[in-house]
C-alpha cells in the first residue's frame, strides 16, 4: 500500500511512517516543519519507499499533488498548541479545520476514500460521564483546540455519508515514547536535568496518570483500520490513550477505551516500561529540550 501521512515529522506521524516502512509499504510524508523535527524523519528519509514533501495543509494544490497514487491518508498534522490557542485563534481554525477540509478535498480529487484522523479527548469538554465513552452526552466545547478538532471530525463524517469515504477517528490522550516532546514526563525530565536534586510537582504528588506507549498507539490504529476494512460510507470513532487519569488534571480527561479493546487490540507495553523508554530516549536526545517548548 501507498500511504500519505500529514504531520509526518511529528511525534506520532514520524513513528507511524517508520512502522509502515518497516512493514514494506510506501509512504509519502507531508509536513511543513512548523513543529515537526528534521531528526524525526532522518531514518525514513534514507528508505527507498519514502518520499518527503514539505508543505502546509493550506496549500490545497500541493496536497493534491502529494497524494497522487496514494491509497490511504493518515491526517495527523495539527496545531497542537492547546495552551496558547487563545492568543492566536486563527491558527486552530486554519491548521485544524481548514487543513482537514483541504485534506478531504485533496483525497476526493485523487479518489482516495480512507482517512485516519488524529482527534482528541478534548472534544468531550468537561465530560459529564467519566470514564467517557465515544457516545457520551453531546458535549460543550471548552477549548479552541477541541472545537477545531470536533469540526474536523464532523467534516470527515459528512464526507463519509456524502461521498462514500471511510473515516476512522481516534480521540487520543496521553501518548508517550520515543520522540515524545511535551507533557508531564517531558517536564519532569527537563527539571531533573536542570536541577537533579529537586522536582517540582503540581498538586499533592498523589495524582495518577496513565499513558499509552506510542508503538502500542500505532498498533492500535493500524489494527483498527484493518479490523474495519471495507466499511465505506461510514465513520468509526475510537477513544485511545491512557486508561486512568486524575482529578486535578485540568481539563480532566479520562476516556473509556472499551470500544477499541473490543476490536481485539491490547497494549503490550506497560505504563512503567513506556515511561522508562521515554525517559531513556529523552536522555539520549537532550536537544529536544532546547529546540522545543513543552
Residues in touch with a copy of itself (CB under 8 A): 85-86, 89-90, 93, 97-98, 101, 104-105, 124-125, 128, 134-144, 146-148, 150-151, 153-155, 157-158, 161-163, 235, 237
User: Exposed/middle/buried for 180, CB within 10 Å: 0-12, 13-18, 19+?
Assistant: buried
Report the half-sphere exposure of 249 (CA within 13 A, side-chain side): 20
Q: Which of 50, 124, 145, 211 is catalytic?
A: 145
Of the pair 123, 282, the CB lying nearest a copy of itself is at 123
- Backbone angle region of 102, left / alpha / beta, with phi > 0 → left and psi within -120 to 50 → alpha: alpha
> In terms of Cα–Cα distance, which of 74, 78, 20, 64 is closest to 44?
20
CA dihedral 203, 211, 234, 105 (to 10 degrees): 80
CB of residue 162 to a copy of itself, shortest distance in Å:
5
How many Cα atoms are found within 13 Å in the side-chain-facing hemisphere of 61? 0
Give whichever of 107 and 189 is closer to a copy of itself, judged by the CB atom.
107
Give min distance, CB of 236 to a copy of itself, in A: 9
Q: Is 145 a catalytic residue?
A: yes
CB of 140 to a copy of itself, least distance (A): 5
The minimum distance between CB 282 and a copy of itself, in angstroms, equals 31
Which of 140/247 has CB closer to a copy of itself?
140
Looking at the Cβ atoms of 181 and 239, the one nearer to a copy of itself is 239
Neighbours of 90 (CB within 10 A): 10
Active site positions, annotated: 145
Amino acid at each position: 500500500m501507498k500511504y500519505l501521512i500529514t504531520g509526518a515529522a511529528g511525534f506520532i506521524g514520524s513513528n507511524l511512517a517508520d512502522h509502515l516502512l518497516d512493514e514494506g509499504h510506501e509512504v509519502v510524508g507531508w509536513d511543513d516543519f512548523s513543529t515537526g523535527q528534521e531528526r524525526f524523519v532522518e531514518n525514513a528519509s534514507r528508505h527507498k519507499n519514502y518520499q518527503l514533501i514539505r508543505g502546509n495543509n493550506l496549500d490545497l494544490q500541493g496536497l493534491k499533488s502529494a497524494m497522487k497514487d496514494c491509497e490511504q491518508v493518515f491526517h495527523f498534522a495539527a496545531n497542537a498548541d492547546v495552551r496558547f490557542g487563545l492568543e492566536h485563534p486563527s491558527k486552530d481554525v486554519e491548521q485544524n479545520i481548514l487543513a482537514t477540509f483541504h485534506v478531504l478535498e485533496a483525497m476526493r480529487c485523487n479518489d482516495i476514500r480512507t482517512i485516519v484522523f488524529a482527534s482528541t479527548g478534548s472534544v468531550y469538554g468537561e465530560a459529564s460521564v467519566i470514564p467517557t465513552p465515544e457516545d457520551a452526552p453531546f458535549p460543550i466545547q471548552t477549548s479552541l483546540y477541541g472545537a477545531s478538532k470536533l469540526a474536523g471530525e464532523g467534516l470527515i463524517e459528512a464526507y463519509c455519508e456524502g461521498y462514500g469515504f471511510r473515516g476512522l477517528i481516534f480521540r487520543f490522550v496521553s501518548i508517550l515514547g520515543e520522540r515524545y516532546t511535551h507533557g508531564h514526563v517531558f517536564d519532569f525530565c527537563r527539571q531533573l536535568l536542570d536541577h537533579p536534586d529537586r522536582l517540582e510537582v503540581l498538586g499533592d504528588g498523589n495524582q495518577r496518570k496513565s499513558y499509552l506507549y506510542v508503538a502500542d498507539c500505532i498498533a492500535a490504529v493500524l489494527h483498527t483500520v484493518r479490523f474495519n476494512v471495507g466499511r465505506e460510507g461510514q465513520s468509526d470513532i475510537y477513544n485511545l490513550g491512557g486508561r486512568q487519569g486524575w482529578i486535578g488534571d485540568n481539563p480532566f480527561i479520562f476516556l473509556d477505551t472499551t470500544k477499541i479493546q473490543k476490536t481485539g487490540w491490547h497494549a503490550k507495553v506497560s505504563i512503567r516500561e513506556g515511561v522508562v523508554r521515554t525517559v531513556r530516549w529523552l536522555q539520549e536526545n537532550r536537544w529536544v529540550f532546547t529546540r522545543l517548548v513543552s
